[in-house]
Structures are given as C-alpha cells and as structure tokens.
Chains A and B, each alone.
Chain A
Amino acid sequence: MFISRMNERMRLVLVIILFVFVIITLKVFYIQVISYDKLNNYAKDLWSRNLPLEANRGIIYDRNGVTLAGNITTTSLVLIPNQIKDKEQTAKLLANILKVDYNDMLGHVMKKTSIERVHPEGRRLSNDIADKINNLKLSGVYLVKEAKRNYPYDTFLANTLGFVGIDNQGLSGLELIYDKYLTGSYGAIKYFSDAKGQRLKLSQIYEQPQAGMNMSLTIDFKIQEALERELNNAIDMYSPEGAWGIVMNPNTGEILAMASCPTFSPTNYQKYSLEQINRNLPIWMTYEPGSTFKIISLSAALEENLIDLDKDHFTDTGSVKVAGATIHCWKHGGHGTQTYLEVVENSCNTGFVNIGFKLGKDKLFKYIKDFGFGKKTGIELSGEEDGILFDTDKIGELETATTAFGQGVSVTALQQITAVSAAINGGILYKPYIVKSINDPETNQIILQNKPTKVRSVISNATSKKVRYALESVVARGTGHNAYIADYRVGGKTGTAQKVKDGKYMVGNYITSFIGFLPADDPEVVIYIAVDNAKGVTQYGGTVAAPLARNVMLSIIDALDIEKRTNEIPKEFVYLDPNYIKVANVVGLTLKDAKKKLKGFNIKSFGNGKVMYQSPPAGIKINEGDTVRLYLQ
C-alpha cells in the first residue's frame, strides 16, 4: 500500500521532469527559430571585423573623353592591434620604415580598437615602402589597396576642377560642387574574428567598393590646352599680375575652355596661397571692361534702329563735354568724320558717347541688363561674382556717356563672353554651363544631362548679323587687326581698361582684353582673353590680348576643323602689318610675265620654259614677300 503511494509520487516527479524538459525545449525553439534573425545579427556584429576599402572617385572627362581627373591605386597600412603579437618589435620595425617616432607608432600598435590607421604617414605608400612592410610578414599588419585622385595633366583646368583631400573628398571647384556624385562608397573585406581579435579561417567576404559617377565636361581638351599655353606665354612675356580667358560655343552656352593664371597644382594644393586656389579669375574678377563693352551699346543702338552703320556719320573732334566734364577720345585730336562703322572700327569713344545719348539711359541700361550684366550668369561653379552697375536713380548724363564706351561698370569675363555670344548668335542669351553629363560608371546610364538653356531673346537675328559685320570689320580694318586670320572671318573687339583702386584710376595699369569670334557668317566659337597689367609692352588690347587670341583661334580652327570661308571682308593693311595677297594664276605664262603678275612675292624658279606648276596654287592668300615656287618646262 505504501509502495503504491511511493510509485504514485515517482510518476508525478517524472511528469514534472518531462514538463520542464518541454519548457526548456520550447525556450530553445524560441531562441533558435523565433529570435534567430535578431541574435544572428547581433552575433555577426560581435564576430565580424571590417577592413574598409576606398572606392574609385568618378572620372572627369573633357567633351571628347579625355581624362582630366582619374584615379591611381595606392597602398595604405592598416593595423589590427589585437592580432599583433610582438607589439614593441612591430612598432620598432614600422617606425623605422615609415620614419615615424617610435612612441607614436607604439601608441598606434597598442590602441584598443579593432582597426587602426597610421595617418598620414601610413597612407599612400610608395611601392618601395609597401614592399618593405610586406616582406616583414608581421601578424596584424595589413596593406590595403586604395584609390587616390590623380590629375594626369597637373595644373590643367585646375581652378575649375578643384582638388580633393587625403580621404578623396572634394575640397574645391567641381570636385566639391559635385562631390555627392563623384564620391563612391566604401567597400570592405569582412571576416570573422575570435574574441581575442584573431582572424578566423571560416569565412571572408569581399565587398567591392562602388566607384563614383563619371562626369563629362563641355571643355575641349585641345582648346583648353591652347588657351593655357597662350596665357602662360603671356605670363612669360609680360609678367602681368594675372591673365585669364574663356572659350564658349555661342550657340549653346557651353564652355569649351576656361583658364586662370596664375594657377596651381591640385596634387600639391597645400603649397599655394588660398587666393591662388580659390580665385577662378574668369568668374571671380570684376573690372571695367573698356571697349569690349561697346559691343553692347552698338547692339542696342542697332536693334533700336538709331544708327545706320554705313549711311549715318559722326564727327569726332577728339573730345566731348558732358555735364561739365570733358571726355577724350583715345586718339589725340580725334578721328574726324566717320561712318558709324568706322566709329566701331576705330573704337572711337566720343562716337560711342553719341550712341549712348541716342539710346538714352533707360534703353541703354535695359539692354545692359537684358544682356545679363549685373547678376551672376548661373554657371555651376562657385565663387562667381555679380559685377556692379550704376544705381538706376544715380544715372545722369555723364554715367550714360561713360557706360556707353565701357567705363563705370564692373563685369566679369564670363558675363562679357555670354553677352557677346548673344549679340552675335542671332540675339539669344544662353546660360553658360560646363558640365555636360554625369553617368553611372557601370551601366553608363545618364544620371544628369545638361542642355542649352535659353535665358531670353535680346536682339533680333537681323541686328545680330549687323553686329557681326561691324565686328568682322573691326578685325579686318580696325583696332582688332592683330587677330586677323585669313579666310576664317574673325570678328572681334579690343578692350583697354584702366584699373580702379580706392575710387581712382591707376596710372599705367590696365586690363587689356580682346573678345573675338569666328567665322563671322556663322560663329562657332567666341573667345575672350584678358591680361592684367602687362609689362614691357604698350598696354592696348590690340597689342597684348589680340595676338594671344589669334593663336588660340588658330588652334581652335584645327581642333574643331572649321571650314575656310570665301566672302570675307578684305583686310586693310596698316604700316608694318603683314600684307595678305591672293596668289595669281601664272600657269602657262613665261617667267617674265609671271614675275610681273606675282609682284611683291619672292619668286624661286626651277627649270626653263613656261610655268607648268606653281606652289602655292592660285587663290591662296599669303604674306607679301613670301616665297612662290615656279616649275618651268
């Protein structure tokens, strides 16, 4: 009887034991199945270690795919202190190779962190040093490949491109503005480690770093190269305070070239002053434009039908009195009676005072504003200036008069080239831009695409045609003759502006400039070049800036493969100017007759008899005194 009670209680105990087993099993089920994800993630965080890998930065190309900013792969040192066995020895060896203080290195090696970088001595290692470290085969010492920004042409386009810091982050220029696109995302080598930080052999995951977006600019490498070359020549020849220039497609607003001197090397940006790095002169520098601004007054007057270039006349006496002040023309004694075309050709100041008065202050300033002056063009670069116009209520006769020939206003180079583009492209003002597109590096999918942006119509197509005619005439027959290129119909205007300091004009210190375009019948490019305080030369836009612009334009003709034109305005020769003469056809003539026909050229003849072949052929224009070879038979 008692035994059966014992058995009863034993069975009860067995049931309780089984019940507790069930509870434990349910709890294990809860841990392993229901909270699996949570615990698994926590545990993975606990186990895994990351070696971060820097991504390639997006490549910056010119409009034809030339790399302006790329990447090179470098090696960096990464320490995992927990895996370093002999800390003193490791610190000693590394300090020796990297030329770092032993105690500093010991600090890195002993640091209580999962991953330690030796900054900056352990970054961007040379192959030589990387090999030395690799050969030591130290535990816990890793070398990881990292991408580093590389500018293959060094100072090329530097003020616009900007530069990056040691972590590949954009610090200025396009690198900064488009940092979000250009920056890639870090990759990693992920592995599991034990609680002492040793790497486990179990698994290793390589996460590829994601390269940043590639960017194409509107810049044309060849044109930029030519512009920088000429500006550097100007620096060598004239030792100016600065020189800058822009080349633009007038029909779209695309910037084909933009340069600022003095410039800097983005790889060693620390060595330069902040001004040199941050001042992108074509958009930052504001100054009185001088005579290049006359294009604006001229366009306004033509649009308003106030003057006829060929039929109306103006008589320049050398000076004009305005509101009690006397304004002199740059030519002492004046230009006498001229057509308005000659007023433009001669860049006659009093003539433009007259044009200004014909327009009146309201219309003149309306056109100035319509051409975009007085406010930023909106190009996607930082550091652009507004420029300064007279306050509307303070404009009197004198202000109207000086503004008409380019004094008393303050503008940027970019504003001028944008405005002149509108004056010659048929009258439409475009917003300038420099970024053509942004593409995904893998799929090549377009992320961002810039298209020409029309701001407004400023003058009519017919007026624009007249402006082109007048400016071609300036180069062919007037002050811009140094920019003349035979058969390519260059139009343009020179500018010579006294610099202002503390409200007064400085003596003998000018910004000389030239704005030109070609071909005049259907302009494909506009170029603006300015040189600040050129030394050792007569400071006129025509003598300093125009020859530079001419050389760049020659390169542009080559780069863009611009076709020759036939119906240009014939060049009028000034003293000492090279004389371009069409070579006559002398084939079939005797040597004597041929020489008569080719008067002014240096004739070299080969053989006897009549001319059978001539070089250069008939119709080509060459300088007076150049050699013509004749082959006789």
Chain B
Amino acid sequence: MNKKVDWLLVLSIILLSVFGLIMIYSASYIWSEYKFNSPYKFVRNQAIFFIIGLIIMFFISKVSYTYYYKYSKQILMLCIILLILVLIPGIGTVRNGSRSWFGIGSFGIQPSEFTKLGLIIFTSKYVTTHKKLLPAMLMTLFVFAIIMLQPDFGTGTIIVMTIFGILFINGMKMSLIIKLGLVGISGVVGLILVAPYRLSRILSFLNPWSDPLGSGFQIIQSLYAIGPGGLFGLGLGNSIQKHFYLPEPQTDFIFSIISEEFGFVGILIVACLFIILIYSGIRIALQTTDKFAKNMAFGITFGVAFQALLNLMVVVGLIPVTGVTLPFLSYGGSSLLITMTSMGILLNISRYTR
C-alpha cells in the first residue's frame, strides 16, 4: 500500500467546497433573511455538513475499498430498501414536489444520493466478475424506475449515465451504443409525435424569451445574472439577481451568481478547479491496477463530472432545465456528504496506485 496522499485532489476538493460555502452565503443571505430572519441559516447548515463531510472523507480514505467489494450486494440492498421506504408517506417527506427526503429536523437526507454510490459499487464489482453487462443494465433501470416514482428525474439521469459510463469502459460495443442511441431518439420522437407541444417546450431553452414568464423564466433570470457579470464581475456580495429575481439562487443556479459576482475570470477559475479534480480522479482510475478499484474510481469521478456538466449546461442555456445541483458548490447537505464520502473512497484507491 502506497502511503502517499493525492494532495492535488484534496486541494481541489477543499478549494471548491470552501468557495462553495462563501458563495452559498453570498447567494442565500437575502433569501435566508427573508424566510428565516437570519442571513446565516443556509451557510451554517452547509458548514456543518462540510465539516462532517471532511471527517467522513478522512475516515473513509483509511478504510480499504476491498470491504465494498465484499459487501457490494448488501450495500445496494440497503440503498434500495431506503429508496422504497422514502416513497411511503409519513416516512419520506415531500420537497419541491418530490418525495425523496428523510427529514431530520431542518436537515434532509436523500437516499437516491446514497443509491448512486451503492450502484457504482455494485456495478463495479459485477462487471469485474461477470462478462455480460445486460443484468447490470437491468438493475440500473430498476433503480431508475424506483427513483422516478419520487419523482427525481435529475438524480435518476445522473445514476443511469454514471453506470452507463462504467459499462462503456468495460467494453460495451459501439454497435450497442448506437442502437441504444437510436432507441432513445425514436423514443423522444415518439413522445413528440404523440404530443407536439413537447417540442416547443424542449426547444424553449433555445429562445427563452418566447415564454419569459413560463419555461423561459429561470433561464432568463440566469442570463440576467451571468451577462452583467462581464469580464470581472460585480464583486463578491454585489449580485443583484439574488435579490429575489433568481429563485433559490443558492442551489441549482449558484453558478449564475458566481458569474455575476466574479465575471468570466471567476468562471475560468471554477472550471479549472473542476478540471483538476476530474483529471485527478481519472488519473487514479488509470493508475490503479485493480479492476474493481478502477471501475469504482472512474464511476465516482465520471458521476461528479457528468453532474457538474449537466448543471453548467442548464445554467448557461445549452440544454433545458433539469434541476440538477452543482457538486461542492450548490447548497445541499446529503449531496455534499455523499460526494465527500465518494472522494474518501477515491483517496483510498489512490493509495494503491502504482
């Protein structure tokens, strides 16, 4: 076992998280003051989760990843049980229209976030021990179906795409990819043919001003934050869009507020931090010789990368709004906890690299 710590990864994690804390405060204090009479409500919660997350990351990085290999099925079973439990009214609570939370006081925990990690572990082991990929794919679809009962399309999509990424590096045939792609496209075309209004709904992100108070509202408000930021931004704390123009600016659209306050220069720095983190993760996956660890390291990294890209593309108006948070930066306790846990696993794997 190699004792060296991947400091570049640790540094990018801490920089992103601390910057996230600052931006959550800047973006949320108006809302927080308005809703809870305290400007620190959101940032205090996030700070607590960040500290817990750091401790968990530290411990997990000491725990050998081979345990997950051993207990992969049990971990997934536990996750699926939690996913089913959360659907039961009285146990799971509804937030923003989805029954996807276990509420503990003002804190909330999303089992779908845990499931993401559970499914990465399960799939990584499955493709290491089996040749056929189809059962893993079916299990993924099963989990996706349960999550869609909440419904939480964003998390579901990230899970499916993350597992798809693992399957892809495990030799999924190009012909199968093309076939799946065709199935997907024909499915979308079919949905549009059945109800043509969906097309304009999907395409509204291209011209949000066609429906400025409906489907285009969030994206317009996001552009009104990003645009005036210009090259150097309005300065920390000076965003105007956070004054109730952009709804809940500390979550999905925190990137817009970063753009407004730090401008294009700030965006370049944030993008660089993410690229360093993703590069470090992929490097660990490349350098480890254990196939299970390789799959897991890649799955974790790809999951974070995909979620980040999905969020950024929504915020800048490249794709329709999907409701996905930005890892490390958006407000959200359980999301941060599970991301930090994943990072702990990643750090543990890095100790076994060549």
A306–B231 alpha-carbon span in the complex (Å)? 93
Which single member of A3, A40, A198 contacts B228 (CB below 8 Å)?
A: A40
Say yes or no: A21 contacts B309, CB within 8 Å.
yes
Contact A25 B240, beta carbon cutoff 8 Å: no
Assess whether A28 is in contact with B264, with CB atoms less than 8 Å apart: yes
Chain A residues proximal to chain B, CB less than 8 Å: 2-3, 5-7, 9-11, 13-14, 17-18, 20-21, 23-25, 27-29, 31-33, 35-36, 38-40, 42-44, 46-47, 192, 194-196, 198, 200, 202
Contact: B282 with A36, CB < 8 Å? no
Known: A7-B286, A195-B243, A196-B244. A39 touches B294 (CB 8 A): no
Interface string of B236-253 (1 = CB under 8 A from A): 001011011100000000
Contacts of B267 in A (CB 8 A): 25, 28, 32
Q: A3-B289, A32-B229, A200-B243 are in contact. List 12 more A-B contacts (CB 8 A).
A: A6-B169, A9-B169, A10-B285, A25-B267, A28-B316, A33-B230, A36-B227, A39-B224, A40-B227, A47-B240, A194-B244, A202-B238
The answer, among A2, A33, A47, for a CB contact under 8 Å with B264, is A33
- Is B268 part of the contact surface with A, judged by Cβ < 8 Å? yes
Residue of A nearest to B247 (CB): A195
Interface segment, one of B65-73, B144-152, B178-186, B273-281: B273-281
**A30 (CB) vs chain B CBs: closest residue:** B316
Distance from A224 Cβ to chain B, minimum over Cβ atoms (Å): 57
Q: Is the CB of A192 within 8 A of B240?
A: yes
Question: Chain B's nearest CB lies how many Å from the CB of A424?
Answer: 73
Closest to B310 in A: A20
Report the interface size class on chain B: 35 or more
Pairwise interchain contact B227-A194, C-beta atoms closer than 8 A: no
Closest 5 CB pairs of A and B: A39-B227, A194-B243, A195-B244, A43-B224, A9-B169
A25 contacts which chain B residues (CB < 8 A)?
A: 267-268, 271
B154 interfacial by beta-carbon distance below 8 Å: no
Shortest beta-carbon distance from B223 to chain A in Å: 6
| Cβ-defined contact, B230 with A6, below 8 A | no
Instruction: Sample 26 A-B pairs with CB under 8 A, ordered by A number.
Output: A7-B286, A10-B169, A10-B282, A10-B286, A13-B169, A13-B282, A17-B309, A21-B309, A24-B271, A24-B313, A25-B267, A25-B271, A28-B316, A31-B316, A32-B227, A32-B231, A32-B264, A39-B223, A39-B226, A40-B230, A43-B225, A43-B228, A47-B245, A195-B243, A200-B243, A202-B238
- Pair A35/B227 contact, Cβ less than 8 Å: yes
* B158 adjacent to chain A (CB < 8 Å): no
Contacts of A35 in B (CB 8 A): 227
A35 to chain B, nearest CB (A): 6
Which residue on chain A has the smallest CB distance to residue B243? A194
The chain B residue with its CB closest to the CB of A23 is B318
Contact in complex: A202, B240 (CB < 8 Å): yes
Decide if A14 touches B230 in the complex (CB within 8 Å): no
The answer to whether B333 has its CB under 8 Å from any CB of chain A is no
When distances are taken between beta carbons in the complex, the residues of chain A under 8 Å from B279 are 14
Q: How far apart are A22's CB and chain B's nearest CB, in angstroms? A: 9
Q: How far is the CA of A518 from the CA of B289 in the complex (A)?
A: 122
- A6-B240 Cα distance, complex, nearest whole Å: 47
A259 to B321, CA, bound (A): 74
Q: How far is the CB of B230 from chain A (nearest CB, A)?
A: 5
Q: Across the interface, do B171 and A2 meet the contact criterion of CB distance under 8 Å?
A: yes
Q: Is A46 within 8 A of B316, CB to CB?
A: no
Among A6, A31, A40, A195, contact of B245 (Cβ-Cβ < 8 Å): A195
A27-B318 CB under 8 A given contacts A14-B278, A32-B227: yes
Bound form: Cα–Cα A173–B240 in Å: 49
Chain B residues with Cβ below 8 Å from A36 are 227-228, 230
- Which among B243, B275, B317 is the interface contact of A27 at CB below 8 angstroms? B317
Other-chain residue from A6, A31, A192 in contact with B227 (beta carbon distance below 8 A): A31
B291, CB-defined interface residue at 8 Å? yes
Is B39 an interface position by the 8 A CB rule? no
CA of A23 to CA of B30, assembled, Å: 32
Chain B, Cβ-Cβ closest to A47: B240
Residues of chain B with a CB closer than 8 A to A28's CB: 226, 259, 264, 267, 316
B298 lies within 8 A of chain A by Cβ? yes
